Structure 1
Amino acid sequence: MSGSEMTIATEGHAPPARPARPGGAGGRRGGAPRLPARLRRLGLPYLLLLPAVLLELLVHLVPMLIGIMMSFKELTQFYIRDWGSAPWRGLENYRVSIDLNAPVGQDLLNSFLVTCAFSLLAVGLCWLLGTTAAIFMQEDFRGRGLLRAVFLTPYALPVYAAVITWAFMFQRDNGMVNHVLHDQLGLTGERPFWLLGGNSFAALAVVAVWKTWPFAFLIVMAALQNIPRELYEAASIDGAGIWQQIRKITLPSLRPINQVLVLVLFLWTFNDFNTPYLLFGEAAPASANLISVHIYQSSFVTWNFGTGSAMSVLLLLFLLVVTAAYLLATSRGRKTADV
Structure 2
Amino acid sequence: MTALSPPRTPPDTPPPTGGRPSRRTRRTRRRHLLPDRVRRAGLPYLLLLPALLLEILIHLAPMAVGVLMSFRDLSQQYIRDWGAAPWAGLDNFRVAVDVDAPVGQALLHSFAVTCAFTVLAVGLAWLLGVTAAILTQDGFRGRGVLRAVFLTPYALPIYTAVITWSFMLQRDNGLVNHVLHDQLGVTDSPSFWLIGDNSFTALVVVSVWRTWPFAFLILTAALQNIPRDLYEAAQLDGAGVWQQIRRITLPSLQPVNQVLVLVLFLWTFNDFNVPYILFGKSAPEAADLISVHIYQSSFATWDFGYGSAMSVLLLLFLLVVTAAYLLVTNRGGRGRKQDA
1:81 deviation in Å?
A: 1.3
Report what 1:84 is aligned to: 83
Identity %: 71
Amino acid of the structure 2 residue aligned with 1:90: G
Report what 2:21 is aligned to: none
- Determine whether 1:309 maps to 2:308: yes
Task: Give 3-state SS (helix, strand or coil) of 2:138's partner.
Answer: coil
Report what 2:181 is aligned to: 182
String of CA shifts for 1:167-186, please: whole Å, max 9, x gaps. 00000000000000011111
- Of 34-43 and 319-328, deviating more is 34-43
1:33 deviation in Å?
A: 5.0
1:301 deviation in Å?
A: 0.9
Query: 1:43-62, aligned counterparts within 5 Å?
Result: 43-62=42-61
Amino acid of the structure 2 residue aligned with 1:63: P
String of CA shifts for 1:54-111, please: whole Å, max 9, x gaps. 1111110000000000000000011111111000000000000010111110000000
- Determine whether 1:223 maps to 2:200: no
1:45 deviation in Å?
A: 1.1
Query: 1:290-329, aligned counterparts within 5 Å?
Result: 290-329=289-328
1:42 deviation in Å?
A: 2.2
Report what 1:162 is aligned to: 161
CA distance in 2, matches of 1:191, 1:124: 28
1:41 deviation in Å?
A: 2.3
Displaced runs of 4 or more, over 6 A:
12-15
Amino acid of the structure 2 residue aligned with 1:329: V
Query: 1:99-138, aligned counterparts within 5 Å?
Result: 99-138=98-137
CA distance in 2, matches of 1:328, 1:155: 30
Amino acid of the structure 2 residue aligned with 1:224: L
Task: Give 3-state SS (helix, strand or coil) of 1:192's partner.
Answer: coil
Amino acid of the structure 2 residue aligned with 1:99: D
CA distance in 2, matches of 1:272, 1:305: 20
1:34 deviation in Å?
A: 5.3
1:40 deviation in Å?
A: 2.7
TM-score, structure 1 length as denominator?
A: 0.91
**Based on CA coordinates, which of the two structures has the bigger radius of gyration?**
1
String of CA shifts for 1:102-159, please: whole Å, max 9, x gaps. 1110000000000000000000000000000001101111100000000000000000
Report what 1:271 is aligned to: 270
CA distance in 1, matches of 2:37, 2:153: 47
The total of aligned residue pairs comes to 326
Report what 2:250 is aligned to: 251
String of CA shifts for 1:2-45, please: whole Å, max 9, x gaps. xxxxxxxxxx8999x99x9xxx989x9xxx75535443322211
Task: Give 3-state SS (helix, strand or coil) of 1:72's partner.
Answer: coil
CA distance in 1, matches of 2:307, 2:265: 22
String of CA shifts for 1:278-306, please: whole Å, max 9, x gaps. 00011100100000000000111110000
CA distance in 1, matches of 2:110, 2:244: 41
- Determine whether 1:214 maps to 2:204: no
Amino acid of the structure 1 residue aligned with 2:320: V
Report what 2:66 is aligned to: 67
Task: Give 3-state SS (helix, strand or coil) of 2:34's partner.
Answer: coil
Amino acid of the structure 1 residue aligned with 2:182: D
Amino acid of the structure 2 residue aligned with 1:178: N
String of CA shifts for 1:172-203, please: whole Å, max 9, x gaps. 00000000001111111111100000000000
Structure 2: tracts of 5 or more residues without a match: 13-23
CA distance in 2, matches of 1:184, 1:130: 29
Task: Give 3-state SS (helix, strand or coil) of 2:55's partner.
Answer: helix
